[in-house]
Amino acid sequence: MSTYPFTFDPSRPFVQQAGEWIADVFYDILPEAGLELRDEQIYMAFQLEKAYAEKKTIFAEAGVGTGKTLVYLLYAIAYARYTRKPAIIACADESLIEQLVKPEGDISKLAQYLDLQVDARLGKSPDQYICLNKLDAVRVEPLEDNLYREIYSDLPEFVHYSDTLQRFYPYGNRKDYPELNDEQWNKIGWDVFQDCLVCSQRHRCGQTLSRDYYRKATDLIICSHDFYMEHVWTYEGRKREGQLPLLPEHSSVVFDEGHLLETAAQNALTYKLKQALFESIVTRLLDGEVRETLALAVEEVIVQSDRLFHMLGQYSRPVSGSDRRDIEWSDELLKQIADVKRHIDLIEEELVFESGLFTLDDYQLKIVEEHLEMIQLALGLCRQQDQLISWVEGEGDDLTLVIMPKKVKEVLGEMVFDKQMPVIFSSATLSVDGSFAYIADSLGIEKYLSFSVASPYDYEQQMKAELFQAPLTANGTVTTATVGTSAYELAQTEQVLSLIGQSGGRSLLLFSSMQELTAFRQTAESLLADADPLPYRMLYEGTAEISHLISAFQQEETSVLCAVTLWEGLDIPGPSLSRVIVWSLPFPPNDPVFASRRAESEDAFHDVDMPYMLLRLRQGIGRLIRSREDAGHVSIFGHELAREEVREAVTHLLP
């Protein structure tokens, strides 16, 4: 097969020729293979041709069923081959990655119908891989069962033995262990407090070997939003440390479900400072014959950090329904942060002299300097409370200070959107009242192209919707005595089980939090304890790897899937998904990001809560109808529906 899937004429612009070939694909090749011709795809193809020709950012808002994924894949693959650099497809989360690369997914369809050999490789986030250090620790615990010892014994030979002439290959992916629930995986999966730079096992680590593998992709590298943002934030630091960036140079970027990118950007720039980790970083400077002044500076900064974490325990309060603690900022606390920063400054000054004596390992020195620079940057934000979101996690002596900047658009604008590179935002929900200004401003995008195309499906005929609300008092307010109580949850659970029974299973239940899902599961299992076994299988997110659950849901037609993270991207056409049940309206969570946004808004409910809820609800409802033949019901619960304005806004979304 030639480099390009069409005959290339070097005298004509490449993107123009690629556009002509893509038009042939949609007008002729795919219809001949049995796929329907969609006007929306043709329109989108012409819009993306302009973005690739001008190397611009484009907001591609296309409704469910428009076939937008096939369009951006064709352009991304063709342009990657032209530039000799892979394209990045960044999905909202790991489950959406698996949806894209599954055997019946769009990449496989293109390869089959166009006779294309597509080199698509996964660049998964670090937490999707086994950490050998954590596995070593848990497998020797006497109270743990043989599960982890069996996992260890089944690892590739090169992990256990340092023999020469071994073949190395990626391993240890979360998907390889579908039977582990989230709690079991968290005991062996990588976490943010693992310092891979000094790990003696890093060269045999599955995460490291995976990076070596996906960096060699020629067409596509598929990763999550979080991983792409981590690549952006760590790009310069990794280069200074003599490491390769997380992702190679690439030709274009597609942000699938791009409306979620801002949250991923904030999460990637979040810095977590743990006392034990900080001590382990600075005490590395004492390995070797160092000057007394440096040793004293290290000892003093540990004392000052101890005081800081002790004060954080004093000046923080638990938040109801959350595992975080809000910080009560005071002059005393800010002074202690300044003292820690000042002592880190002293260490950095001492390192200038120490590096000239060559008493410290150069590689270790670079690592410590990079960590200290990041800590200084994070602590420096504490002086700008209006630009900062911060909180504390943990209890007692196991506290973690979490620091997140409120706005990330300046960095994003400089490092992503100001580059001469096509950047595609793809989603069914990118605009607000027909305008893309909100998302463009939040991400720092000044110049962009945009378009919107509606879904081709007949929702009025294919979807039936119903709303369920809490009881009202005589004056029209929600009955607070029932909302949130076990009696209310019991009644709602009984109603949900009845709806599932009417559909013979075949239902997707969407929850706003894992706490809601867990409570529903406990109540449902209690109700069904003395009843006959259900004629369908209940699948719960967290009990196994998510793509494994999705596959089981699709293959077992009458099964029921209960999930928190599948409001976007889940694509299950056919009778397996005949009813979507929304357990509660997806208002923003009680987390520091939205608490900060609410505090800055004059009307938090209308400016923050309602837009988020309606956007998420639109996505959730969109899981039901995935083809022209699909039909089913949407059932929406929520005590907020008792408020007339909420009910009207939700009703407006429905057919």
- Do residues 203 and 90 lie in contact, with contact meaning Cβ atoms separated by under 8 Å? no
Q: Which two tokens stand for residue 474?
A: 């005589």
- Do residues 231 and 243 lie in contact, with contact meaning Cβ atoms separated by under 8 Å? no
What is the model's pLDDT at position 382?
85
Q: How far apart are CA 429 and CA 9, in angstroms?
A: 38
What are the pLDDT digits (tens) for 462-481?
A: 999 999 975 434 444 444 44
What is the model's pLDDT at position 635?
96
pTM, 2 dp: 0.83
What is residue 326's DSSP assignment? E
- Average pLDDT value for residue range 594-599: 80
Q: DSSP string spanning 474-514?
A: TTS-B-TTTTTSHHHHHHHHHHHHHHHHHTTS-EEEE-SSH
A 10 A CB-CB count for 628 gives: 13
A 10 A CB-CB count for 81 gives: 22
User: What average pLDDT does the chain have?
Assistant: 87
What are the pLDDT digits (tens) for 322-352?
A: 778 889 999 999 999 999 999 999 998 888 8
**Which of 127-141, 316-330, 546-560 bottoms out in mean pLDDT, i.e. has the lowest?**
316-330
What are the pLDDT digits (tens) for 442-455?
A: 788 888 999 999 88
What is the model's pLDDT at position 569?
79
Closest by CA to 583, choosing from 528, 642, 521, is 521
- Average pLDDT value for residue range 518-543: 91
Q: How far is CA 63 from CA 95, 428, 429, 455, 545, in A?
A: 20, 5, 8, 4, 29
- Average pLDDT value for residue range 474-498: 67
Q: How far apart are CA 476 and CA 331, in angstroms?
A: 46
- Do residues 73 and 26 lie in contact, with contact meaning Cβ atoms separated by under 8 Å? no
Task: Please report which helix (H) or strand (E) contains residue 224, including its range.
Answer: strand 220-224
The answer to whether residue 243 scores a pLDDT higher than 90 is no
